Amino acid sequence: METRKPMLSITRRVRFAASHRLHNPELSDEENARIFGRCNNPNGHGHNYVLEVTVGGEPDPQTGMIMDLGKLKDFLYETVVVEVDHKHLNADVEFLRGTIPTAEVIVSRIWDLIERKLPAGKLLEVKLYETENNIATRTSSR
Amino acid sequence: METRKPMLSITRRVRFAASHRLHNPELSDEENARIFGRCNNPNGHGHNYVLEVTVGGEPDPQTGMIMDLGKLKDFLYETVVVEVDHKHLNADVEFLRGTIPTAEVIVSRIWDLIERKLPAGKLLEVKLYETENNIATRTSSR
Amino acid sequence: METRKPMLSITRRVRFAASHRLHNPELSDEENARIFGRCNNPNGHGHNYVLEVTVGGEPDPQTGMIMDLGKLKDFLYETVVVEVDHKHLNADVEFLRGTIPTAEVIVSRIWDLIERKLPAGKLLEVKLYETENNIATRTSSR
Amino acid sequence: METRKPMLSITRRVRFAASHRLHNPELSDEENARIFGRCNNPNGHGHNYVLEVTVGGEPDPQTGMIMDLGKLKDFLYETVVVEVDHKHLNADVEFLRGTIPTAEVIVSRIWDLIERKLPAGKLLEVKLYETENNIATRTSSR
Amino acid sequence: METRKPMLSITRRVRFAASHRLHNPELSDEENARIFGRCNNPNGHGHNYVLEVTVGGEPDPQTGMIMDLGKLKDFLYETVVVEVDHKHLNADVEFLRGTIPTAEVIVSRIWDLIERKLPAGKLLEVKLYETENNIATRTSSR
Amino acid sequence: METRKPMLSITRRVRFAASHRLHNPELSDEENARIFGRCNNPNGHGHNYVLEVTVGGEPDPQTGMIMDLGKLKDFLYETVVVEVDHKHLNADVEFLRGTIPTAEVIVSRIWDLIERKLPAGKLLEVKLYETENNIATRTSSR
């Protein structure tokens, strides 16, 4: 018989404004232009990114909290937002050094950056809105 | 060979305005202040909560519906919204009596409240936005 | 030992404005009125639909992309939006012919329409907002 | 010397889902197609309209209210929403009979419909969102 | 000949979560219940308020700014948000003492609170969203 | 006796993603850092800008339109969006050459750019959202 164990999580949304350029230095300018189109503009362009981070667990009976949402917010500001807000993602951000900062690459690196700092198994999902229409998500496989 | 069975669901969003206070009466005032910060304000504070409820199933061939979204809305109003809208969650709400009404506790209690009134296995997810930045989710494990 | 394989996906959101009528021609007018209520209005009514399509995979190391979000957008416009935007879903849309176009039926047909045109296993989720309060979702079972 | 009299107002937002067709019966089909493009589709299309109505005045000292926002909501439902929600604006709506129901025509007719039922000078603005991108507004000249 | 002088302004949006109760102590309980309905609940209820403040002027040629939007944000936090966020508007807020804290009363008091601290004539509008559907606005008369 | 002439307008919303840097080359690096803070980051940062343009007038009796909203959209794309979307506002945009591209400067330049191409007196307002919290508006004086 299948039993359904309820799964509980909290999600915190934070924002940052950044610029980037999609460009692969190993390819020719023509290939870059063909692959990345207007996202390859040499001077870059930018977005108001929205980041949603979801952590799972059971509420502590003494606090009613899986994890303090205020602390999760502070953690995300200190670990992620301070690194990327009002920055150029290609030039200014250590954890994106050498990457092509597409939404899926950024979300994957943010996962790597924060997962190791959270208790094992806590991190369930990292979601990044580049615009309201373009979204990338990394999810823990279950 | 793995077969992928498509899974279909509908989600209804409802809203309520309520106040609450995060406070554990078994702890000292100092501990409450330290743990809950400004959420421990004795006179409480409030939110425009958004509740999203997802139920799964197959559409009835005669109606094209998993469940009538209008009926799901009515069910949620009668079962949940009428209990919490324009209320103080600590003082006025039977199904939250004795809890610390964090987003994760509220979402968990709403799950318990509505799941027993829905056909078995129908309820897939209950999601509660305390603000657009603070969200709690309870999902059926699969 | 359980291993967690990270799962990565991108989501593209597109919009269309359409009208529809919920009506089952095999039922009497009275039954239709009883079942579908104001959605059964003979002249129909309409919505600004929002469609979100999620495809999974690993980023191509040369581009940092699972799939070009601009190409995914173009694909969705050519395959779905052009068929339904500024149309009457019951009368004008080939892939909904003979259906009762509820949100769950539309989302299911859009899944069928696009899944066969994407590489196998790529499509993870199709989500349709009929309004911000009424949503239907089809997900690949995992 | 110029004196600045503060001006106070309240705004209520309501929603309705409707279909319409932009078509002028006095013009040829070719002219209609040229002028209205895909909005001329014979079977129509639809929108989730958002209507915002603003009324000005001074708060009643006994209630702190310019006008009860709940009563304003009820008034708008009874006067406007019940007439247009889940309707075809060309075929089903008395106060739009014989018009080409563009956003600017609808907003103008809604102004006429509600202004006569409000105390003189109270109505300051009626705003209609056809989509989040297409908006029409009628304002009282001051 | 009429000359049109362009008018330029900037708007900053801030948020706060608060509870309140609509109640006039000079009226009987019956009258309060009749006038304020569920907003008269003795234990109060709450909202996620959104406040938008607009100041006009000409950009300083050296900075391109009418006023630094970051400084305007800081000013609004120190002057308004710190007073009302996570508070009970009736019990905890000095500048609302003795009022019935409807949206129109709150917006009017916030105007009074901030206008005197801004250069004369700068403040053009204060707008308060109690919910996305209930809004109050105070505008400088021109 | 005061007569109130109704005023009618339509508004079109368009979007663009761009990067910029707030920097005055006539000032020292220290002064730039002090005045513009993190907006002075040498490599720039970026935003998803939202632009709303409002034009007034009376509906043409033959079309029900003040101006075709689709044509207004096309006009804004050709005149504004193509110039700024996926661009660096300081380096790539002719109509912002030599400016400090704050929201108020950009909105003012967009006004100048489009007003001369519209019939006299038509343009009523240009509004620019740098983020959902930072907004600049230029309005025709009345």
Question: What distance, in Å, lies between the first and last C-alpha atoms of chain D?
Answer: 19
Cβ–Cβ gap A88/F15 under 8 Å? no
> Cα D24 vs. chain centroid, distance in angstroms?
21
Which positions in chain F touch E141 (Cβ < 8 Å)? Answer: none
What digits encode the pLDDT tens for the residues C78-102? Answer: 999 999 999 999 999 999 999 999 9
What digits encode the pLDDT tens for the residues E21-33? Answer: 999 999 999 999 9
The whole-angstrom distance between B82's CA and the closest CA on chain A is 24
What digits encode the pLDDT tens for the residues C117-127? Answer: 999 989 999 99
Cα three-residue angle F12-E63-F135, rounded to 5 degrees: 25
User: Is E20 an 8 Å CB contact of chain B?
Assistant: yes
What digits encode the pLDDT tens for the residues F49-92? Answer: 999 999 999 999 999 999 999 999 999 999 999 999 999 999 99
DSSP state of C106: H
Which residues 99-128 on chain C approach chain D with CB closer than 8 angstroms? none
pTM of the model: 0.95
Q: How many other β-carbons are positioned within 10 Å of the β-carbon of residue E116?
A: 9
- pLDDT for D8 equals 97
pLDDT higher than 80, residue C6: no
* Identity of the residue in F7, F68, F73 whose CB atom sits nearest the CB atom of D141: F7
- pLDDT for F6 equals 60
Which tokens belong to E139? 């505008």
By C-alpha distance, the chain F residue nearest E72 is F134
- pLDDT for C12 equals 98
Which positions in chain B touch C142 (Cβ < 8 Å)? Answer: 4, 142
The whole-angstrom distance between F100's CA and the closest CA on chain D is 28
List residues bridging with A138 in a β-sheet. A126, C8
pLDDT higher than 60, residue D2: no
- pLDDT for F1 equals 35
- Residues of C acting as catalytic residues: 39, 86, 130
Q: Rounded to 5 degrees, what are φ and ψ at E45?
A: -150, -175
- pLDDT for A70 equals 96
- pLDDT for C5 equals 55
Which residues 48-87 on chain C approach chain B with CB closer than 8 angstroms? none
- pLDDT for B5 equals 54
> Rounded mean pLDDT of B98-126?
97
- pLDDT for D4 equals 45
By C-alpha distance, the chain A residue nearest C9 is A137
Contacts of B57-61 with C-beta under 8 Å, sequence gap 24+, read B57/B8, B57/B9, B57/B122, B58/B8, B59/B8, B59/C102, B59/C104, B59/C105, B59/C108
> Cα F114 vs. chain centroid, distance in angstroms?
9
Contact B57, C102 (CB under 8 A): no
* Identity of the residue in A18, A39, A43 whose CB atom sits nearest the CB atom of F92: A43
Which positions in chain C touch A121 (Cβ < 8 Å)? Answer: 4
- pLDDT for C4 equals 45
Reported confidence tier of residue D9, pLDDT bands at 50, 70, 90: very high
What digits encode the pLDDT tens for the residues D34-89? Answer: 999 999 999 999 999 999 999 999 999 999 999 999 999 999 999 999 999 999 99
Which positions in chain B touch E17 (Cβ < 8 Å)? Answer: 45-47, 131
Cβ–Cβ gap C135/B70 under 8 Å? no
- pLDDT for F36 equals 97
Q: What is the mean pLDDT of chain F?
A: 95
* Identity of the residue in D24, D103, D136 whose CB atom sits nearest the CB atom of F63: D24
The whole-angstrom distance between F27's CA and the closest CA on chain A is 21
Task: Give the residues of chain A that fall short of pLDDT 70.
Answer: 1-6, 142
Cβ–Cβ gap A139/C63 under 8 Å? no
pLDDT higher than 80, residue E75: yes
Reported confidence tier of residue B4, pLDDT bands at 50, 70, 90: very low
- pLDDT for F102 equals 98
3-state secondary structure of A90: helix
Regarding chains E and B, contact by 3 or more CB pairs under 8 A is answered as yes
> Rounded mean pLDDT of F16-31?
98
Cα three-residue angle C89-C94-C100, rounded to 5 degrees: 45
Residue with tokens 């690949």: C140
* Identity of the residue in D5, D13, D64 whose CB atom sits nearest the CB atom of E99: D64
pLDDT higher than 80, residue C142: no
Longest Cα pair distance anywhere in chain B, in angstroms? 61
